[in-house]
Each structure stands twice: as structure tokens, then as C-alpha cells.
Amino acid sequence: MTQESWMEGTLAAPLLGAVLALIAGRSAASAIGILTALVGSAASIGLAFAVSRGGSFRYAVGGWGAPLGIDLRVDALAAVMLAMTGVVGLCISVYAVGYFRGKEAEAASSRTNTGPAWLFWPMWLMLWGGMNALYLSGDLFNIYVALEVVGISGIGLIALAGGSAIAAALRYLLLGLAGSLLYIVGVELLYAGYATLDLEQLRQRIDAQPSTWLAAALMTAGLLAKSALFPLHFWLPPAHGHALAPVSAALSALVVKTGFYLLVRLWLDVFAALGTEHVTTFLGALGAAAVLWGGVQALQQERLKMMVAYSTVAQIGYLFMLFPLASMSGSLTGALLLAVSHAMSKAALFMCAGSVLAVYGHDRIQSLQGFGALMPMTAAAFALSSISLIGLPPSGGFAGKWMLLSAALAGGAWWWAAIIVLGGLLTAAYLLRVLAFAFLEPVVASSTRAPRAMELTSLILAGMAIAMNFALLPLHDLLHAGGAR
Amino acid sequence: MTPPIIYASAGAAVLCLGLFGFLAARHVLRRILALNVMGSGVFMMLVALAARTDPPDPIPHALVLTGIVVAVCVTALALALLTRMCRDEGSALLPEDRDIE
Amino acid sequence: MGPSEWLSMVMVSVGVFFFIAGSVGLIRLPDVLTRLHALTKADNVGLGFIVLGLSLQAGSLLELMKLLLLWPLALLASSCACYLVAEATLLQSRRGPGARRHVR
Amino acid sequence: MTDPWIPLVAVGLPFLTGIVIFMLDDRQVALRSLLNLFGAFAKLVLVGVMLWGVVNGRDYGVRLAIAPGLDVALHVDALALLFITLSAVLWALTTVYAIGYLENAAHRSRFFGFFSLSIFATTGIALAGNLFTLFVFYEILTLVTYPLVVHRGTQKALAAGRVYLCYTLAGGAVLLLAVAWLHALAGPRDFVAGGYLREFGTDHQFTLILLFGFLIAGFGVKAALFPLHGWLPVAMVAPAPVSALLHAVAVVKAGAFAIIRVVYDVFGVEFAQSLGVLGPLALLAAFTILYGSFRALTEDELKKRLAYSTVSQVSYIILGVAVLGPLSTIGALVHLVNQGLLKITLFLTAGNLAETLGVHHVHEMDGVGRRMPLTMTAFTVGALGMIGVPPIAGFVTKFYLGSGAAQAGQWWVIVVLVASSLLNACYFLPILYRAWFQPQSAPWPNEKREGFDAKAVLLVPVLFSAALAVGAGIFANAPFGPLEWAKLISSREFGYGP
Amino acid sequence: MSGDTLVLDLVLAGLLVFLAWRLLTLSDLFKATVLFIVFGVLLSLAWVRLNAPDVALAEAAIGAGVTGALVLDALRRLDARGPADEAQPLRLNLPRLVGALLVMGLGAFLLWSVLSLPPGWRGLSSETAAAMPRSGVVNPVTASLLNFRGYDTLLEIAVLMLAVLGVWTLNAEPMPPAEPAGPILDVLVKALLPPMVVVAGYLLWAGGHAPGGAFQGAAVLAAGGILLHLARPFNVANRGVVRLVIGFGFAVFLLVGLTLATLGGRFLELPERHAGILILMIETAAMISIALTFVVLFVGNARDNAGRDTS
């Protein structure tokens, strides 16, 4: 299996699965979904190993080569994001099977008379395919179309929940569309300036013209809207909070990473030659503000899913703190590991919220007494993912935060170090506040049980988030083998 | 003042009008129209850019074609969302705009 | 400027005159029904003259056929549209002024 | 040839037993108790093997690379063995006691799961080979002891848990900053007798002092140093075995042990003295000793009084560390063991009183000596030991601390020692007087059991620990005794004989 | 550059900008929608002036036609349901003023960067001309749409499918039973539908060597469909055959790409000899799917009139 065939598998599997699920309809949608999830995640993990052995490579789609055709570029950064999407995507698919078989979904769709629940599968697989296409793409306009695929499938998935999710989906759509248009203006200016859409050629030809700065600013504004960084984050909590559990897991864990990935690709790779100190510091400042603002907001939420959604806003801030520290060694490894373990623990948290909703019928935090006794596995999953999100030692979150922290301290950046540590405390405040309820005696002796697949998947995912602590070394070697700094 | 320059400037103007319309308007249908207008402005600039060489550069034309189709898909979805929201919540404004009626 | 150019120049200018008449009618006339009258009648005749004028300049037979096909299609479309708009306004007025401005 | 298996098994064993116990259902009492006891005694055997091995010069260690230049290292040296022996012995005792104490309580699998996980963390702290590993296990200890503190599941327990978390997580954050900063400054370094920061002393003078402050603050939370001790009395709402665990076996000891590591094996005691940080540390420890004793005087609830006495007792260790000189170091190290033995005896007896007679407050203890003679004799042994009456273990510490202070010429330390001994007497003797010489004034609050004394399974561990306390005093100089071992460690730290 | 076309361009560009401004500031939403459709038509004129016939066709058919119909239909549903009169005119308050200034600054900067572009700019026209002989078609736009940047078009069709899925998820309420449209509409449908289908076929075929192609053909076909729906409202519910047709175009494109990859080439690498046939095959499948997609987007509900969930 050469590198190219692994990549073709990663690219085509979700797309093929999506169209087959669409055609199959209710009867075989979930079966196709699970099969595609297996094949897709296997392909993306295989690709990651191929890159760690053979280093990064380029792939000319349609055989035409860079300026005319579209080139895909697979380097370590892309391989890590693809493997993350694969693994977490597989767990979300398994969880979704249990979730939609549970009666909770049937009741929801009839109550809010949205379309049939099986529509989840084609849209979810297309979302996955769109993300894979985005991480693989090395062409500016191709990234735009992939962003649209991810955007629209996200909107459809949010709307699946009906009720107040419709307004949230509409707000997400408007903001996403405006962001994409700004991005396109930027792409157009760069094409006018350098007559190429390929990232690699652009990186070589880039020089500090005013129109290039304008293009960079517009593209960054568009992508900030899509990755919900602090000032432009207001669409995320209602969208992720009101969506169905597997959907909010997919959005919070995976989709927000696409915006972050693209900004890393732009500012640390393509525009690197432009002298980006004040821009990266600005992004870092926004990240720090997001960490504090998201944390404070999460503390005040009454509903579990809204709290976890606000925690996404905060954790995105953490990732953006990579920018001011990018020049120091080890910071990229740290940020990537943070991104991956955040994806796993955030998906596990939303799955726990889904299981709690299935058993309790609501997710008001105050009245969740004793969910530890009623649902031991979910409580364990919640605890493990909280440990990783807070960044307490035996977890991937800790390893990532440690690398960022030592990069900040080695570079003498006290501000960022303080924010990183303070953010951890804030996260601890709002997550452990909920965990405490697990130890109370259960008030309502609810007889319903969440389907075993749901609880087990969240526990496995949370366990993986902890195990990521030992993934720091292989990730470091992969990054250096893959050629990314 | 060759045609590409005229239409590129008109495109820039239309784009800015669309962006302003999107930011300023509160009725969602108006914001959808504004976004479409903004998209048309962007495409005007792109095609005007392509028209500067005698056999016009086909790549921007392909990009604009793709852009138009994507725009119509997003607009169709936005309109469906709007009608559904209007039916459920009785107002064609986003929740955060409603209370300051 | 041979005789055919002169003739097509005359035809096109007559056509344009009819278009202007239609537009004036559109602006001056008071209500929907009368405006419809002006629009469909004047513009179609105007279009007929323009098509005839241009057909004289037509290079090949194919181009001539396409031009001539243009006029009947335009006629068909505008008359149907005029009927539908008229029907809608009648429904509108019969249901009383209070009814919402309901465009069918 | 460093043998990696012994330390790995020593750390891994409690972890595995913990995970397996989590799986068990509450009703499977026999299997769970068997697992617990097997875990405890297998640990004792392992510690014995390590003791024998280290004395014969064998080296135990294992290393796992987490990131380039950052690895989790386990290494067995004399200091680690002192702490791990103490925790192994006391853990076995507490396990037996806990099985009896929680006869038919709820959530026992959860309790014993976290119980053995906390021993896993304590062993990890003891065997840590570098500051990063120590920090990792230190934070894991916080996580696994929290469920024990809130085990009862009442709002009061939750409030106590919240206080506990606030202190420990804040301490953890400060610690994370300090450990990362030190790692950035000095690069990956293992613990080495005499410390490894001397070479950075010249140009990083101020940073190192700041770092020392952060480290002491971080570890001081669990060592219950003055401003950071708030959580200890509040955490008394937990069941008796947990308070025994918190005070004697794991948490408080981990804090003190970590401070010993920082002062001796990271900074090096001479370099710390040259930085001028030991003076303020000694002052803080002394103040904590006096403050703890004063608060204990006024506390009517028995367990709270014992808690404040722990706050002051642990600061003896830190005082010993802060006073330069081999003798005071010996005093500090041997007190690590003595305080453990004495305090566990006191807490287990308090547990017996609460479990059998429902006695929680000092004023209810009139005539309890006649009703439960054996338990009260153990309590008396513990109390006298605390005061420092020979031949019980407490006396050895005070003797060495006093002579160390005299040798270092810091006379005010002796004044503090004498004052605190007097204060100890003031808050322990009234209890003894009430128990033995006062007739029973009121019916016992809720007498669960008429029989002779507490249940056998509760009584045996208490008597055994009291015997150990006395033994540690009398046979201090015997080979493998705590004093002997402390002298060995202190000689390695100072590079010459006692 | 003779004088008179300059006047035409200036008037057209000026009209477009004026229409855009008027469209956004009108208080009456219906007028704004009509102006939006006029804006679309004028825009396709602009594409013709900019020597982009393919784009002009697409803009007229999709931009003005389908989008206009969709907006009018949405307005009707809003109108019937609720408060369309919430559309107050745009009063200029402080935040809007600041927004306006910001946007004007952006506009000026954009304009300046457009004007300062180097005149000798060749773009990729030379590379495209060089690659045309191996692309299997004569029309460069179709070549770049389906061969050079075929992967973009594949994802674009995915976006179309997602729009349908989204509309089905939203399950807008079934069409109110329309009064029987008089005989005139039937006459129009009988007269216009057949030529529309022929024109769509022609556009598809002509795409190879002249302006045209799958999207334009599909738009004309969809217009026919929408016209038919206006005359006799039929329901395109979420049934098996409908799903098959909608997924068909994307599936064909993807499978062609994959088979080419398995036969040793790259993904979507059309071999030179068969490029023309393959492009036509892909375009035919795509046209049918896209036409039905536009119709479903317009008709837009997953349940048939009786409210039964059909899937």
C-alpha cells in the first residue's frame, strides 16, 4: 500500500460512503455509516504511519500539476489532523448508532418534526469527507470549496435537532457564508498578485505588497469567523449547545479545528516570509481573551451542553496561543497534541451529555445528583476527559500544555505562561463543579439505561485522551520526519 | 478606462455595499440578499481580472461558475432555514435582534 | 451605407419608438391593468420591428432563423405573464383591500 | 545493572488492584477484601526485597521517555525507601481497618478502588527519580484522594471536597509553573544527593529564589504549611480510614517528603542556605507549629483537634529540614516515620470511638477508658508519643531536632520545640484525664455494640500500630530501624558521617 | 476600444452599483426581491461584456433564474405566515455609520489594489492554452471546470447534494393546495417545456466546444421543472428513486475518478484519448442530478401533502 493509495482511501472513503448512504436511505444508512467509518479511520491512520516513514509528499489530482490543476500536499501537520479526525470520527459514528437506536432520537424528531433521523448519516459522512479534503488540500480555492462542504453539512446536522437549533443553524450559516466570501476576496487578490492558487508556489513567490497584506487580513478575518475565536465566537455556543449529542461532538471536537489548521497553514507556512510578529501576537491575545471569556461564561451556564460548548470557545483560545510561541521549539508539537487530546476529550464530554440526556431527560446541571451511581461509566468518562481538558498530569492535555508552557518559559514569554496556567484553573472550576454532583446520592431513581454503546464509546474516547500523554514522542518524531518545523 | 477596470471597480463597490448591507440589516431575508450581492461583487472582480488578457484566462471563469452554484445552494438552504424559523418562532429576525424591536 | 442598412436603421428606430411609448405608458398610466396593456402591446410591436430590422443584417440563414424564433417566444411569454398578473390583481381586489399584498 | 522490574511492580501493583476493584460489584466483599489484603502484603514483601537489595548495593531504576529531554524516571534510593516502607506498613494496617470499618457501607468498590490508587500515587511520589515525575504523581494523588474526601456523598462532604480542590489545584498550578520553569532553566535533571542547581546560582539568583518560593508553596499545600493548611481540618468530614490515609500514610507525608526532595536533592541544602531561603522557611515552620498547637487547644471535636495537631507536627519535619546540619536532618527524617505511626494510632482510635460509641467530641469522652480500655491505652501511647515522652517514638525526633538546633547555634528553635511540647501536653492530657479519671457522665451518644471494646478487626490494627510506635522508640538504633536509616540518608546528603 | 461601448460599460456598471444600493435600502421586501432579479439579469450582461459567455449563461439561468424563484417563493411563505412588514428601512445609527466607514475604507483599499495591478499580467491563460490539446475538449472553461480543476467540481456537486439533504432535514411545511392555475399556464408549459429540454441537451453538448455545459443545461432543465411545478404542483418527496437520481451525478463522477486511480493513474486523471467521452459522460450524469436538485430545492419538502414521512 503506497502512500498515494492510503491518501486516496482517506479522501474517497467518506465521500463514497455519504453518497451510498444517501441513496440507501433509512434501511442501510447506519450500516453504511459504520462501514465507512471503519474504512475511513483505518485509511487515515495508515496515511499517518506512511507519512511518518516516508515523509511528506505531494499528489497532483487529475495529473495536471500545480498552477493549472489542484495539488494535494500531505505533510506531518495534515497527517496528524487526518488521523485525529479518523479516530474521533469512528467513535462518533459508533456512538451515533447507539444514540439513534435509543428512543430519545425518535421522540426528538417527531416532536420537532424535522426530517427522518437517518439523514444524519449522509450529512455526517460528507462532513467527514469535507474535513479530509480540507486537510489534504494544497490549493487555496479547493480549500474554499472544502470549507463550504464542511459548513453546509454542519448546518444540516445542527438543523436535525429542530426547535431552537434552527435559529442557531441560520446564524451559523450567515456568519459562515460571510466568512467564506471574505476568504474568497483574499484568494482573488493573491491570484491577481501571483497568478497561482497553489500554497507551495505562493509561499515561494510571496512578497510584502499592500494588496498581499489586505488579502492576508481578509482571509484571516474569514477564517476567524469560521473557527469561532473570541470576538466572533457568539454563534458557537447556541449551535453546539442545541444540536444532537453526536452532532455537537463532531462540531466541537473536529470542525472548529479546521479554521485553526488553516490559520496555522497560512501564518506559519505561507505568509511566514511576511514578518508576522504583530499578527501572531494579536492572534495569541485573542486566544488568551477566549480562554478567560469562555471559562467565565462556562462557569455561569445552567445546562450541561451549553457549558461544554462554552468550554470549546475557551479551549480554542488555548490552541491559538501557539501563534506567539511558534518560533520556539516544541510549541507546534504541544499545540497539536493539545488539539488532538481536546478533540478526544471534548467529543467524550458531549457523548456523556448525550447519555445523561437519555437517562435524565434533561441536562440541567443543578438536578444531576448522583449520576455517578446511576451511570458509573459515563461519570468515569466525564472525569477522565475533564482531567485531560484541565491538563492534569496523566493526560494528553497535560503533555500538550507542558510543551506550550516550557516553550513560553524558554522564550521568556511570562504572559502566555501565566494565561496557560490560569486557564487550566478556570477549566477545573467549571468542569469539577459538575463532577462533584456525581458523588451525591441519586435523588431520582431513573430506571432507563443509556444504551451500552453510548457509554462505552465515551469511556474509550476519554481513555484515549489520557493515553495521548505517551503520544508526545511519536508525534514529535512524526513532525520532524514529516518536514514540518 | 478599459472594461476590466470599470467592472472591477464596480465589483469592489458592489462587494462593499453587500458587506455593509449584511452587517447593517436585521431582517434575515435582506441579509441573504446582501450576501448574494456581495458574492456577485466578488465574482465581478474575479472575471474582470480574467478579462485583462485577450483570450480571457479560463481559470477565474471556472472559479466563478463554482462560486455561483455554491452560492445558490447556500441561499436555498438559508431560505429554507428562514421559512422554518419564521414558522416556528413567528419572527424573521435572529433571536438576538428580536428583543430590541 | 447601402439601402438594406438604411431600411434596417429605419425599422429599428420605429421599434425603439414603440418601446419608448410603452415605457411612458408604464410610468404615466394609473393602475396595474392599464400598465399591463401598455407594456405587452407596445413592447411586443417594438420588438417585432427591431427583429425585422436586425434580420436584414443577419449573416447566415441559421442566424436569421434564430432571430425570427426570438419574436414568437417573447410574444408567448409576455402574454401568459400578462394574463397571470391580471388574474392575480383581480383576485387581490375581489378579496378586498385588507388582504395582504399577496403576489401569486 | 539497574533492575527495572521491582519498582515497576511496586508502582503497578496498587494501580492494577485499584482498576480491578473498580470493576467489582459492591456485594463481592470476599473477593475485594482478598484483593486488598493481597495487594497490601505483596507490597510489604516487595519493600522488603528492595530494602535488602539497596543495603547490598543493588540499584533499582526505570526510565520512560515522554518527550525529547523529558522522561518519567523511577529510582529507588535510601530516602525513597524510608517513605515507601512507612507507607506500605501503614497502608496494610489501614486496609485491614477500612475493611472492618466499612462493613456494610455504600459504594465500597469505589472507595477501595480509589484507596489503592492513592497508594499507587504515593509509591510513585516516593520512587520518583526527577522533579517532573514527582510532580506528575503529586497531581495524580490530588485526583484520587478527592473522591475519598467526598465519599460520604453529603452536601457537607461536597463542600469539604470543594475546599480541598481549591487548595490543591491552586497549589498544583503554581507547581506546574515552577517545575516547567526549572525544566526550561536547568534542562532534564534527575535528583542527585547535594542538589544540581549550584551551577545556575550565579546568574539566576533571583529566579531561583522565586522558584524555591513557588515550589515550597506548591508542596506546602499538602504539607499543611501555615497559610495553606485550611483544607486539612475541613477534610475531617471523611470516614476514619480516609482521615488516617490523609494524615499519616499519604497526602500530608507526600507534601513533607516532596519538600525534603526539593531542599536536599534539587537545590542542595548548602546552596539553599547560601540563597538565604532556609531562614524564612524555618520561621514559617515554627510559626505553623505554634499556630497548629494553639488552634488544637480550643477545638472540641476530636478529629479536628487531631487535624490541627497534624498541621503542627508536620512542620517539625520542615523545621528539621530548614535548620542546616546533619543532626536536624536526622530529626526531620525520623519524625517522618514517627509522626506517621503516632498519628495513625490516634486516628484509628478516634475511628473506633466514633464507630463503637458514636463519640465525636472531647466533652463526650468522660470515662471512656473504662468502657474501651484497649483502644484508650493505644490512644494514650499515641498522645504521650506526641508530647515526646520517652521511650515512645516522638522523643527521638525532639532529641535530634534539639541537638541539631544547638549544633547550628539556632537557640530559638529549641525554645519553639519546648513550647510546642508543652502545648501538646495541654491539648492531649485533658483528653487522657477525662477518659481515665472522670466517671462516665452521660450515656454514650449512640452505642452500636455492647461487648468488651471495639470489633476485633478494628482493635487489632490499632494495637499493632501502638506497638510499632513504641517499638520505633525503643529499637530506634536497631539495624533497619528508622533512626539507623535516617542516619544513612543524612550521611549521604552531607557527604560525611553523623 | 471605440467610444460607444465605453458609454455602455459605464452605464451598465453604474446601474449595477445603483441597483445594489437601492436593493439593500428599500423598505419593501417585495420590491427588493424584484430589484435583486433585475440585478441578476444585468449582471449576466456584464459577464457578456467581460467576454465570459459561460458565466453569463450560468448567471442568467442560475443566479437570476433559480435564485430569484427561490427568493420569491420564500417571500411568499414568509408573507403568508407572518410579519414581512418587519423590514423597516435601514436607519443610519452610530454602529451602522462606523460599519459604513469601515467598509468604505475596505472598498477604497480594494479599489486601489485593483488599479495598481501590473498591466502585463498573463494569469494562467498561457498554461491553459498549452494544456488544451490534452484536455479532450475545445472550450477552455469546460476543460478547466471538469479536467484541470475537476476535483473542485466534484466537491461542488457534493455541496449541491448537501443543500438537498439540508432542505429535507428542515422539512418545510407541505405546499398549500394552490388554486387550479388557469388554462393559460398549461398552454405555456405545453409550449415551452419541450424546447427547454432540447435547449438543455444542446447546451450540454455544446459545452465541449462553445459556451455551455452541465450547470447551464441543468439550470434550463430545472427552470422547466419549476414551470411544470407552478402549473401542476407535484411533490418531489424523499423517495428512493429521487434519492438515486440526486446521488447519481456525484456517484458517477467519484467512481470515474476512483477507477482511473485504481488503473494506475492519479485520482480524476482523465487519459488523453478518452478525456472527451469521459467528460461528456460525467456532465450528462451531473446535469440530470443538478436539475433535479434545483427542483427539489424549490419544491423543498420531505413529506408529501398528507404529511406522511416517505423515505
For chains E and B, tell me whether 3 or more CB atom pairs sit within 8 A of each other: yes
Nearest to D490 by CA among D393, D390, D407: D407
Choice between D106 and E288, residue whose per-residue pLDDT is larger: E288
How far off is chain A from D494, nearest CA to CA, in Å? 32
* Interface check C84 vs E, CB under 8 A: yes
* pLDDT value of residue A483: 53
* pLDDT value of residue A398: 92
Q: Under an 8 A CB cutoff, do A393 and D135 touch?
A: yes
DSSP D362: G
Domain membership of residue E117 (yes or no) is no
Identify whether residues E153 and E288 lie together within a single domain. Answer: yes
Cβ-based contacts of D173 with chain A (< 8 Å):
421-422, 424-425
* Interface check E191 vs C, CB under 8 A: yes
Q: Under an 8 A CB cutoff, do B32 and A169 touch?
A: no
For chains C and E, tell me whether 3 or more CB atom pairs sit within 8 A of each other: yes
Q: Under an 8 A CB cutoff, do A149 and E159 touch?
A: yes
Say which range, A432-441, D358-367, E55-64, E181-190, has the weakest mean pLDDT: E181-190
* Interface check E83 vs C, CB under 8 A: no
For chains A and C, tell me whether 3 or more CB atom pairs sit within 8 A of each other: no
What stretch of H or E contains D71? strand D70-76
Cβ-based contacts of A118 with chain E (< 8 Å):
311
Among partner residues B28, B42, B84, which is closest to A185 by beta-carbon distance? B42
The pLDDT tens digits of the residues spanning E152-197 come to 999 999 999 999 999 888 876 655 555 556 677 888 888 888 989 9
Residue D187 grid coordinates: 534542562
Chains touching D by CB (3 or more pairs below 8 Å): A
Q: Which residue of E has its CA nearest to C101?
A: E79
Q: Under an 8 A CB cutoff, do A115 and E170 touch?
A: yes
Cβ-based contacts of C87 with chain E (< 8 Å):
182
* pLDDT value of residue E65: 86
Chains touching B by CB (3 or more pairs below 8 Å): A, E
Chains touching E by CB (3 or more pairs below 8 Å): A, B, C
pLDDT tens, chain D, 498 aa long = 577 788 888 888 889 988 888 888 877 888 888 888 888 888 888 888 888 888 787 888 888 888 877 888 888 888 888 888 888 888 888 888 888 888 777 788 888 889 889 989 999 999 998 899 999 999 999 999 998 888 888 888 889 999 999 999 999 999 999 999 888 888 888 888 777 877 777 777 888 888 899 999 999 998 888 888 888 888 888 888 888 877 767 888 889 999 998 888 888 888 888 888 888 888 999 999 989 988 888 888 888 888 888 888 888 888 888 888 788 888 888 888 888 888 888 888 888 888 888 888 888 888 888 888 888 888 888 888 888 888 777 788 888 888 888 888 888 888 888 888 888 888 888 888 888 888 877 777 777 777 777 778 888 888 888 888 888 878 777 776 777 777 777 777 776 543
* Interface check E253 vs A, CB under 8 A: no
Among partner residues B16, B32, B70, which is closest to E103 by beta-carbon distance? B16
* Interface check E182 vs C, CB under 8 A: yes
How far off is chain E from B95, nearest CA to CA, in Å? 14
Among E69, E90, E111, the domain-final residue is E90
How far off is chain D from A278, nearest CA to CA, in Å? 25
Domain membership of residue E103 (yes or no) is no
Among E62, E90, E118, the domain-final residue is E90
Nearest to E161 by CA among E48, E245, E100: E245
Q: How many CB atoms lie within 10 A of CB D217?
A: 17
A93 and A99 in contact (C-beta within 8 Å)? no
Q: Under an 8 A CB cutoff, do D176 and A405 touch?
A: yes
Identify whether residues E141 and E247 lie together within a single domain. Answer: yes
Identify whether residues E168 and E296 lie together within a single domain. Answer: yes
How far off is chain B from E200, nearest CA to CA, in Å? 17
How far off is chain E from B97, nearest CA to CA, in Å? 12
What stretch of H or E contains D464? helix D456-474
Please name the residues between 180 and 219 in chain A that touch chain E, using a CB distance below 8 Å.
185, 189, 191-193, 195-196, 210-211, 214
Please give the biggest Cα pair distance in chain B: 55
Among E90, E114, E137, the domain-final residue is E90
DSSP A472: H
Distance CA(D23)–CA(A380), nearest Å, equals: 12
* Interface check E205 vs C, CB under 8 A: no
Identify whether residues E183 and E311 lie together within a single domain. Answer: yes
User: Which residue of B81, B86, B93 is the best one to mutate when testing the A interface, meaning the one whose CB has the most A CBs within 10 A?
Assistant: B81
Q: Under an 8 A CB cutoff, do B78 and A177 touch?
A: yes
Domain membership of residue C101 (yes or no) is no
Among partner residues E58, E100, E170, which is closest to B65 by beta-carbon distance? E58
Query: Coil, strand, or helix at residue D60?
Result: strand
Distance CA(C48)–CA(C53), nearest Å, equals: 9
* Interface check C94 vs E, CB under 8 A: no
How far off is chain A from E155, nearest CA to CA, in Å? 7
Average pLDDT, chain E: 83
Cβ-based contacts of E86 with chain C (< 8 Å):
none
Distance CA(A222)–CA(A181), nearest Å, equals: 7
Q: Under an 8 A CB cutoff, do C80 and E182 touch?
A: no
Cβ-based contacts of B68 with chain E (< 8 Å):
55, 58-59, 62-63, 215
* pLDDT value of residue A65: 79
The most confident of A90-94, A469-473, E226-230, by mean pLDDT: A90-94
Identify whether residues E14 and E62 lie together within a single domain. Answer: yes
Q: Under an 8 A CB cutoff, do E82 and B92 touch?
A: yes
Q: At what angle do helices B58-89 and E214-231 cross, to 10 degrees?
A: 30
pTM, entire model: 0.90
The pLDDT tens digits of the residues spanning A202-226 come to 999 888 888 889 999 999 999 999 9
Q: Could you tell me the residue range of the domain that residue C66 belongs to? A: 3-94
Query: Coil, strand, or helix at residue A54?
Result: helix
Give the number of domains in chain E.
2
Identify whether residues E145 and E236 lie together within a single domain. Answer: yes
Identify whether residues E136 and E68 lie together within a single domain. Answer: no
Give the mean pLDDT of E90-114. 81
Count interface pairs C-E at CB distance under 8 A: 27
A340 and A310 in contact (C-beta within 8 Å)? no
Give the number of domains in chain C.
1
Nearest to D438 by CA among D370, D367, D357, D365: D367
Please name the residues between 71 and 130 in chain E that touch chain A, using a CB distance below 8 Å.
109-110, 112-114, 116-117, 121-124, 127-128
Residues of chain B with a CB closer than 8 angstroms to some CB in chain A = 15, 19, 22, 28, 31-32, 35, 38-39, 42, 45-46, 49, 59-60, 63, 66-67, 70, 73-74, 77-78, 81-82, 84-85, 88-89, 94-96
* pLDDT value of residue D327: 83
Domain membership of residue C88 (yes or no) is yes
Identify whether residues E286 and E227 lie together within a single domain. Answer: yes
Domain membership of residue E112 (yes or no) is no
Among partner residues B42, B74, B81, which is closest to A159 by beta-carbon distance? B81
Amino acid, single-letter form, for residue B54: D
Distance CA(E29)–CA(E19), nearest Å, equals: 14
* Interface check B46 vs E, CB under 8 A: no
Beta-carbon contacts of E31 under 8 Å, excluding residues fewer than 6 positions away, are none
Q: Under an 8 A CB cutoff, do A68 and E166 touch?
A: no
Please name the residues between 20 and 39 in chain C that touch chain E, using a CB distance below 8 Å.
none
Please give the biggest Cα pair distance in chain A: 67
Beta bridge partners of E138: none
Contacts of E97-103 with CB under 8 Å at 24 or more apart are E99/B20, E99/B23, E99/B24, E100/B20, E100/B24, E103/B16, E103/B19, E103/B20, E103/B23
Q: Which residue of E has its CA nearest to B32?
A: E71
Q: Under an 8 A CB cutoff, do D180 and A425 touch?
A: no
Where residue E304 falls among pLDDT bands split at 50, 70, 90? very low
Beta bridge partners of A419: none
Where residue E59 falls among pLDDT bands split at 50, 70, 90? very high
Q: Tell me the backbone φ, ψ of residue D346, rounded to 5 degrees.
A: -60, -45
Give the mean pLDDT of A148-153. 95
Domains within chain B, CATH numbers bracketed: 3-96 (1.10.287.3510)
Q: Could you tell me the residue range of the domain that residue E272 belongs to? A: 126-311
End-to-end Cα spacing for chain C = 50
Distance CA(E190)–CA(C76), nearest Å, equals: 12
Cβ-based contacts of A330 with chain D (< 8 Å):
67-68
Of chain B, the percentage scoring pLDDT greater than 90 comes to: 51
What dihedral angle (degrees, nearest 10) is formed by the CA atoms of D195, D201, D206, D207?
-60
Choice between A149 and D234, residue whose per-residue pLDDT is larger: A149
Cβ-based contacts of E115 with chain B (< 8 Å):
5, 9
Residue D128 grid coordinates: 520518583
Q: Which residue of A has its CA nearest to D148?
A: A439
How far off is chain A from D164, nearest CA to CA, in Å? 12
